[in-house]
Amino acid sequence: NSECSNTIGSFSCICNHGFTGNGVTCDDIDECSLSIDNCRHQSRSCINIDGSFLCSCGSGYSWNGTACEGISVRLQGPSSDTGTGRVEVFYGGQWGTICDDYWDRDNAAVVCRQLGYLNAVRALRGYNVPDGSGKIWLRDVHCNGNEQNLTSCLHGRWGSHNCGHDDDAGVVCSSTDVDECSRALHNCGSKSQCINTIGSFSCRCNHGYIGNGVTCTDIDECSLSIDNCPQNSSCINTYGSFSCSCDSGYSWNRTICEAISLRLQGPSSERGKGRVEVFYRGQWGTICDDGWDIKDAAVVCRQLGYLNAFAALGGSSVPDGSGKIWLDDVECNGSELNVSKCVHN
């Protein structure tokens, strides 16, 4: 119930929304018992769930987006008392059916939720639905599955249709919650997490992304200047995160970007001839002569302020060093500004 957040040289643990703790241990916040929910002023009861809470209207009422109102949807048929039947809506003082054009599980989910069920098992069409009579109120209903009531879904004009009652829509509802996330019955994007809730689910964009959970866009921490790259470094945006790259002539010492120093050692070092040493992570060390050539020497000499590299020395031509050997298999093309920019192990 927490997210790991990478930091320069370390990491931190942050409890997910709806949980509290030190990030290693995170406990659910009971919004209901703490009275920090927003259910009560809307005449709804609060139901605590892991990481969040739900507001539930009392029996016989449904949520219309602002208040609990009398249910305007019902099921009809021999099994309607057990959550299976023909869907009817109350409009203009009269009950009527819904045409099953485009009728699917997302539509059924809204109906079942509005009727107080936790889950829609499936959407019924055609001969699976007992024929109704009277008005046919709706057609071409398009829900995304998250609406609080059927009338919030896209649909055709009330009373306008070309259907018969053999095309009535129905549902099979259940009071048992289905985990849409584990059963892949959600529409969350590839850059988001599916979070199961009682009777539904929600989509939350991964860390480093922003959006509605169905569509998530990378946050460019660099252009927004919300990175924490140190001095002498550049921010590089990556999908879902960013990285910091030390500027030319600098190296990472686990806390800052420090200048990479270079020196010559040996009896003739003051005249531009000697063993090459680099200063890295607080310590001087040598370079192995594997593949060492005039191009590598050219970069070293330029970095030391000389105009030209006369020769690349190796083996017995170089006085032995001691301590760290920092680099091996250095391959410069001769144009680099410092030896740290060359290819190396």
Report yes or no on whether pTM surpasses 0.75. no
Cβ count near 282 (within 10 Å): 7
| DSSP characters over 248-307 | TTEEE-SSSEEE-EEEEESTTGGGT-SEEEEEETTEEEEE--TT--HHHHHHHHHHTT-S
The tens digit of pLDDT for each residue in 301-321 reads: 998 889 999 999 999 999 999
Are 116 and 166 members of one domain?
A: yes
Burial of 345 (0-12, 13-18, 19+ CB in 10 A): exposed
Sorting pLDDT into bands at 50, 70 and 90, what band is 69? low
Are 157 and 207 members of one domain?
A: no
Q: CB under 8 Å to 145, separation ≥6 — which residues?
A: 105, 106, 109, 110, 187, 200
Domain contains 65: no
The tens digit of pLDDT for each residue in 17-45 reads: 989 999 899 999 998 888 887 776 655 78
Mean pLDDT of 74-84: 93
CATH code, domain with 330: 3.10.250.10
**pLDDT given at position 151:** 81
**Residue 196's domain spans which residues?**
185-216
Are 246 and 264 members of one domain?
A: no
Task: Decide: helix, strand or coil at residue 141.
Answer: coil
CATH code, domain with 235: 2.10.25.10
Mean pLDDT of 148-161: 88
Closest CA to 228 of 4, 6, 54: 6
Are 46 and 134 members of one domain?
A: no
Domain contains 58: no
Specify the number of domains making up the chain.
Answer: 5
Domain contains 179: no
Ranking 117-121, 254-258, 306-310 by mean pLDDT, the lowest is 254-258
Ranking 48-62, 152-166, 250-264 by mean pLDDT, the lowest is 48-62
